[in-house]
Structure 1
């Protein structure tokens, strides 16, 4: 075990070159490897790049685009001078903690990918393994972070947090109550670093570029997927085309000559949650279904092969997380610890029964939430999963041969549920 611990704290180093050049026909992009000269505990200064890749035995490197302007077809890709994660300098690492690894930075990057669509209000996204475990907007930054954290307190443990406003003391105090790996903000108000410093291994990153993050909505970059045979698939990065209710389409379908129309129209709050949820979906691994309510995630289902399955998983996760936060609020311990104490005879079974009854009665907070699907429903069964849990509206891509069946599910619900189409999907692999 001691060897494993040493492995996770050792800087592997890398053999990648300081400069990388990519040619697209007669156009060239030049990248420079990012390294940091970081003071070590023994007083020496060690200049290296990433700690390691996804695992401690994988070398990795971070490159910043420093030269070249790529134009392919009608798409002009992002230009040098717009670095965010790849532009982090030593002076931006307000608290180094442990040397950054690939996962830390890709989590931050995906947090930026989500929060760039949520810049109008204070927002927080907590991520683990390149997926959001909680995302929320709020009246204040502390409110947004608290809601995101409470959405999935379990997964947030050891996560990376990205916020879109200067970090204040109230938010820092809340963050200090959980174990986090990374906190990234555009600025840190006086006194916040002292609060965060209680966690000595926490990486605290100031990223001034977050202030202009809304500009990145219109930027595309070249997205690479490397294959095991050494080949590469390239694509344009995704752009979120659903930015307001005006971008949504009515849920209408025709089947065997009959037109089907969703009878109930969404409320303004449901429309707001649709736009919020669709933004979050752009950072969730597909196939995915998420539930959102009042600008906060309730359940996030990621990366499943079938849509009804991921809809059910998102519900199951919502119940697990709701039980945990309810138990923590009531008794100050995680639900799993309470269940174990009851099993061991160290706690009265009535305590657990009290939590279970509340979770069942509240249906994990799912009633009144909006169901978001990153692609169309091939059958109505996924819509039925959400409707049974009390969701009041659905946003999906539309375009299935059986759209009429999902519309029928909404019309047959009691009370009826609203449904809107995006006309596009939001896959992320």
Structure 2
């Protein structure tokens, strides 16, 4: 059975989806063309023209379509026009190393990386994604710094992930990337010498996104978002547009309860405001329910996909401690924390080695001291924000709108924590 599975992972499936697709909205029509690529087989050298390798899992046929015709206006909303393809427009020429035919998850990770980076274009930035969620995201003084910080934020989850950067990949960054295992590396361009370093991993998909210099133009463009139901039905919706463009769009938290007005007592510092904005922009690409912790424009931990808000706040704290301890362990001993833990259990390393890492992690509260807490929806009770306060956060950004906003404001004021409302929820399912 194991061999059968391995064969399935290697197989590029035939797909029976049509070469073109059209969707009518009343008297308006959108026209799509299926994307295929001619890619040589890594073992035989035979050129195979196929589309997606498979869908979310082997055995699921899938197809990628690019919008090539039609214009859609519904009410006051004009949806994105043809000719603006990013991931759906990738050609063989853009696959600087194809590695092998991409699967659905490779492209949806890349797409979500661009979805996040469209808010982060003013500085060098890197996002590493797995299963359509960011593992780590960071700004940096240089691209190499941004990648190092994003990777260090969660080395464990980044293994086998998709890296998307918003500047031409330089040699210093490529040297770092080449030391790690990734499935996809995407950039607007690749400087001389970088491809030689990256191509040492023959299965690595190296992709150039040629329109990335215009990525900010996509901030306010809407597309039609489809959700297919198990009964064959569809839900169609407008894609979300983030209303937060700068500090002026974040309002100090305020709420009225039983005739009393509750207000946050302390406005954010300039540094906190940078983290509040950075965190809210990364939040646009995270599966809800989610809570993030951000410090110095870098994610400390990302909690995703939980059913309750206090639970996801606690999950993110757990991940922060795990990631911080793992990074320290790798810096000090050159191995992961789990490898150290196993070596201690087997008596191959002294227990003190692990105790040193654990003590340093606890003392720093896993980097959460002075961090910003980001929530994609309101806190229904103060217990969620209290999780972050206990770890030493100094700022919170959230939509607001709970009946108990006053209670959350009180919790923040008691701790000297500032909090801003976005006035907009950021659910992503």
Q: TM-score range by the shorter chain?
A: over 0.9
Query: Structure 1: how far apart are the matches of 2:165 and 2:369?
Result: 28
Are the counterparts in 2 of residues 20 and 30 from structure 1 also a CA contact under 8 Å? yes
Are the counterparts in 2 of residues 126 and 162 from structure 1 also a CA contact under 8 Å? yes
In the alignment, which residue of structure 2 is the partner of 1:190? 192
Are the counterparts in 2 of residues 39 and 46 from structure 1 also a CA contact under 8 Å? yes
Aligned ranges 1:213-252 → 2 under 5 Å: 213-252=215-254
In the alignment, which residue of structure 2 is the partner of 1:26? 27
Are the counterparts in 1 of residues 153 and 323 from structure 2 also a CA contact under 8 Å? yes
Deviation at residue 315 of structure 1 after TM alignment: 0.4
Query: Structure 1: how far apart are the matches of 2:350 and 2:235?
Result: 57
Query: Structure 2: how far apart are the matches of 1:240 and 1:175?
Result: 31
Aligned ranges 1:30-429 → 2 under 5 Å: 30-40=31-41, 41-413=43-415, 416-429=416-429
Deviation at residue 2 of structure 1 after TM alignment: 2.3
SS of the counterpart of 1:242? coil
Deviation at residue 7 of structure 1 after TM alignment: 1.1
Query: Structure 1: how far apart are the matches of 2:325 and 2:201?
Result: 27
Query: Structure 2: how far apart are the matches of 1:207 and 1:217?
Result: 17
Are the counterparts in 2 of residues 33 and 63 from structure 1 also a CA contact under 8 Å? yes
Deviation at residue 3 of structure 1 after TM alignment: 2.2
Query: Structure 2: how far apart are the matches of 1:218 and 1:349?
Result: 54
Query: Structure 1: how far apart are the matches of 2:19 and 2:99?
Result: 25
For structure 2, the residue ranges without an aligned partner over 5 or more in a row are none
Query: Structure 2: how far apart are the matches of 1:37 and 1:351?
Result: 51
Are the counterparts in 2 of residues 9 and 98 from structure 1 also a CA contact under 8 Å? no
Query: Structure 2: how far apart are the matches of 1:243 and 1:152?
Result: 28
SS of the counterpart of 2:364? helix
Tell me the alpha carbon deviations over residues 336-393 of structure 1, each in whole angstroms, 9 at most, x when there is no partner: 0000000011110000000000001111000000000111110000110000000000
Are the counterparts in 1 of residues 168 and 189 from structure 2 also a CA contact under 8 Å? yes
In the alignment, which residue of structure 1 is the partner of 2:9? 8
Query: Structure 2: how far apart are the matches of 1:187 and 1:282?
Result: 25
The alignment's C-alpha RMSD in Å is 0.7
Query: Structure 2: how far apart are the matches of 1:257 and 1:76?
Result: 42
Query: Structure 1: how far apart are the matches of 2:72 and 2:282?
Result: 28
SS of the counterpart of 1:273? helix
Query: Structure 2: how far apart are the matches of 1:44 and 1:201?
Result: 16
Query: Structure 2: how far apart are the matches of 1:25 and 1:47?
Result: 35
Query: Structure 1: how far apart are the matches of 2:61 and 2:302?
Result: 31
Tell me the alpha carbon deviations over residues 13-65 of structure 1, each in whole angstroms, 9 at most, x when there is no partner: 20100000100000000000000011224232111000000000100000000
Are the counterparts in 2 of residues 285 and 428 from structure 1 also a CA contact under 8 Å? yes
Query: Structure 1: how far apart are the matches of 2:3 and 2:390?
Result: 49
For structure 1, the residue ranges without an aligned partner over 5 or more in a row are none
Please, what TM-score do these two structures have when normalized by structure 2? Answer: 0.99
Following superposition, which runs of at least 4 residues in structure 1 exceed 3 angstroms of deviation?
none
Query: Structure 2: how far apart are the matches of 1:226 and 1:346?
Result: 52
Please, what TM-score do these two structures have when normalized by structure 1? Answer: 0.99
